[in-house]
Amino acid sequence: MSLRHARRRIRPGLWLTLISWGLLLAGAIAHPFLQAQEPEGNTSEGNGDSARRTDRALVYAADVDALIHPVSAEFIAQTIEKADADRADFVVLTLRTPGGLVDSTREINQSIIEADTPVAVWVGPSGARAASAGFLITIAADIAAMAPGTHIGAAHPVSGTGEAMDETAAEKAASDVAAYARSLASRRGRNISLAEEAVTESRSFTEEEALEADPPLIDLIADDVDDLIAQLEGRDIRRWDGTSVVVQLDGADIQPVEMTWRQRLLSAVAHPQIAVLLFSLGSLGLTIELWNPGSIVPGVVGGLCLLLAFFAFQILPTNYVGLLLIAFGLLLLVAEMFTPTFGILATGGLVSMLMGGLLLFDSELPELQLGWPFLLGTMLALGFITAALAHLGIRAHRMRAVTGRSGMIDSPGRALGPIPAGGSGRVETHGEIWTAVADDPIGDGDAVRVVAVEGMTLRVERAGAKKP
């Protein structure tokens, strides 16, 4: 019969959260080593090697429908490496992209240039485009082809850090990329002046304009991959090293090459809007977990979201001033949850996040911009979540204590025997048996109410008695 003392202990849920974080960190550390051991053959559904080749020509076909970034560069490089290892006759890359990073573009083109297997880039299907980085990849291929109703070009460079370039820096960047485009076009026998204009003047070309130019920018127009392969039959193509190859693809075995699940996931994550959402949700998830340890799910999901967001920021042209503004805004929102200021901190946080979102990705590509509808929708959603959590915190702060001495007051109970006026007896409350005293007599089994806690004794009165 003693007052329960609160004991400090780590809740089981917190242990699970710590273990989950440990596993996440271990996975992040082990990822490069696991990636290095991943067999290259996993990128192909066919998984055919040279030992199982037949007399039929072998063509590997890969589809690139995304921004040009390190993930797409890795996928294309692995496709070409596999084709070389399996002694394939041709690689066909179906390309539709709004552009991407210059460094990743150079990596892709270097893989194409160094490939033992000839590479064709087909911009398709109808309605597709290969703009900016996609244009440079197209003219770097052994065979450049387009589907009807497609266009290429608009390769003027923008800042790779997300920051606006001054006039001098912009001229230097444009001059560098223009020289690169001229070099590719010259080596491949394509129209050098048009390749340069695509960079310096952001010109775009339809499939007919590209083919009818003198000399042309592309080699042919094909309705689909099968039509492309049919038109390549018997064609004499000149490789980058100056050697000539006569294409023989009649009855070719076309093996599709797919991204691994890891590449598909990372490619989807590497999108500005997805990255910002992951960063915001991850921060809120960790905040909720720290506020209420043991929830488990918010902590684990928040950690995963942050890891994926940091990966996306690493490969996207991120302005880190904008990222810091977003992080500061989230910090103010978290502070609003713990120390409600009637919306002052929350308002400042939302304004900071809005400014950060506008600065985060400064690019001419619509796919790399955070539009006003997205930013306002995100800010309103975060503001609503913050207001809801702050309201719950204020309500919990105003609630009467339900533990310790204060929590015993007004607790219902039952007399375990008669309690004489001014005397003592026993009562049961909260599943515990206590010594109790009463000013008025209480009968055996009567319902009682706790009115005070006096040391190790409860002072009670009959339930329903009027308070003085």
**pLDDT (tens digit per residue) in 11-35:** 444 444 444 444 444 444 344 433 4
Kindly report the CATH number assigned to the domain that includes residue 53.
3.90.226.10
Is the peptide bond preceding residue 125 cis, with omega within 30 degrees of 0? yes
Q: Is residue 20 part of a domain?
A: no
Domain boundary pick from 351, 374, 398: 398
* 117 against 385, higher pLDDT: 117
- Could you tell me the pLDDT band of residue 165, with boundaries at 50, 70 and 90? low
Indicate the number of domains in the chain: 3
Shared domain check, 227 and 85: yes
Question: What pLDDT is attached to residue 64?
Answer: 95
* Overall average pLDDT of the 420-432 stretch: 89
Residue 402 clears pLDDT 60, i.e. is over it? no
| Judgement on whether residues 106 and 255 belong to the same structural domain of the protein | yes
Residue 414 has a pLDDT of: 93
Q: Are residues 221 and 165 in the same domain?
A: yes
- To which residue do tokens 């710590």 refer? 18
21 assigned to some structural domain: no
Q: In this predicted model, what pLDDT tens digit does every residue of 302-314 receive, in sequence order? A: 889 988 888 888 7
Task: Give the structural domain span for 314.
Answer: 271-398
Which of 372, 398, 424 terminates a domain? The answer is 398
Spatial separation of the C-alpha atoms in residues 222 and 128, rounded to whole Å: 13
Q: How far apart are the C-alpha atoms of 364 and 157, rounded to whole Å?
A: 9
Average pLDDT over residues 108-129: 96
The share of the chain scoring above pLDDT 70, in percent, equals 78
**Choice between 293 and 121, residue whose per-residue pLDDT is larger:** 121
pLDDT over 70 (residue 45)? no
Top-ranked range on mean pLDDT: pick from 62-71, 216-225, 290-299, 374-383:
216-225
Task: Let me know whether 322 and 282 are in one domain.
Answer: yes
- 382-389: average pLDDT: 73
Which amino acid appears at position 113 of this protein? I
pLDDT of residue 18: 45
- Find the CATH number of the domain harbouring 417: 2.40.50.140
Query: Which is more confidently placed, 414 or 362?
Result: 414
Using alpha carbons only, how large is the chain's radius of gyration in Å? 34
- pLDDT, one tens digit per residue, over 333-344 is 777 766 766 778
The answer to whether residues 293 and 212 belong to one domain is: no
In a domain, 346, yes or no: yes
Note whether 87 and 164 are same-domain residues: yes
Per the structure block, which two tokens stand in for 98? 């709004």
Question: Does the structure show a pLDDT above 60 at 160?
Answer: no
**Are 280 and 255 found together in one domain?**
no
Q: For residue 449, which of 426, 468, 465 has the smallest C-alpha distance?
A: 465
Percent of the chain's residues with pLDDT above 90:
43
Do the Cβ atoms of 450 and 458 come closer than 8 Å? yes
Report the alpha-carbon distance of residue 42 to residue 71 in Å, rounded: 15
Q: Of 10-24, 111-125, 319-333, 357-371, which range is least confident?
A: 10-24
The pLDDT assigned to 49 comes to: 45
Residues 226 and 320 in one domain: no
The answer to whether position 233 is within a domain reads yes
pLDDT in tens, 183-216: 999 999 999 999 999 999 999 999 999 999 999 9
Out of 379, 398, 417, a domain closes at 398
The pLDDT value given to residue 431: 81
pLDDT reported for residue 182: 96
pTM score, two decimals? 0.67
Q: Is the pLDDT of residue 252 over 60?
A: yes
In a domain, 265, yes or no: no
Whether residue 2 lies inside any domain: the answer is no
Considering the domain architecture, whether residues 180 and 43 belong to the same structural domain is answered as: yes
Asked if residue 339 and residue 239 are part of one domain, the reply reads no
Q: What is the pLDDT of residue 89?
A: 96
Tell me if 14 is assigned to some domain.
no
More confident residue, 381 or 405: 381
Q: What's the pLDDT score for residue 50?
A: 41
Q: What average pLDDT does the chain have? A: 81
pLDDT band of 119, cuts 50, 70, 90: very high
Say if 293 falls within a structural domain: yes
Are 316 and 230 found together in one domain? no
**Secondary structure in 3-state letters for the chain:** CCCCCCCCCCCHHHHHHHHHHHHHHHHHHHHHHHHHHCCHHHHECCCCCHHHCCCCCEEEEEEECCCECHHHHHHHHHHHHHHHHCCCCEEEEEECECCECHHHHHHHHHHHHHCCCCEEEEECCCCCEEECHHHHHHHHCCEEEECCCCEEECCCCCCCCCCCCCHHHHHHHHHHHHHHHHHHHHHHCCCHHHHHHHHHCCCEEEHHHHHHCCCCCCCEECCCHHHHHHHHCCCEEECCCCCEEECCCCCCEEEEECCCHHHHHHHHHCCHHHHHHHHHHHHHHHHHHHHCCCCCHHHHHHHHHHHHHHHHHHHCCCCHHHHHHHHHHHHHHHHHHHCCCCCHHHHHHHHHHHHHHHHHCCCCCHHHCCCHHHHHHHHHHHHHHHHHHHHHHHHHHHCCCCCHHHHHCCCEEEECCCECCCCEEEEEECCEEEEEECCCCECCCCEEEEEEEECCEEEEEECCCCCC
Residue 367, pLDDT score: 62
In the structure encoding, which two tokens stand for residue 399, read together? 């609630």
Return the pLDDT at 135: 96
Poorest-confidence range of 130-144, 228-242, 447-461? Answer: 447-461
pLDDT at 144 over 90: yes
Given this model, what pLDDT does residue 351 score?
85
Please check whether residues 169 and 293 belong to one and the same domain: no
Q: Report whether pLDDT(221) > 50.
A: yes
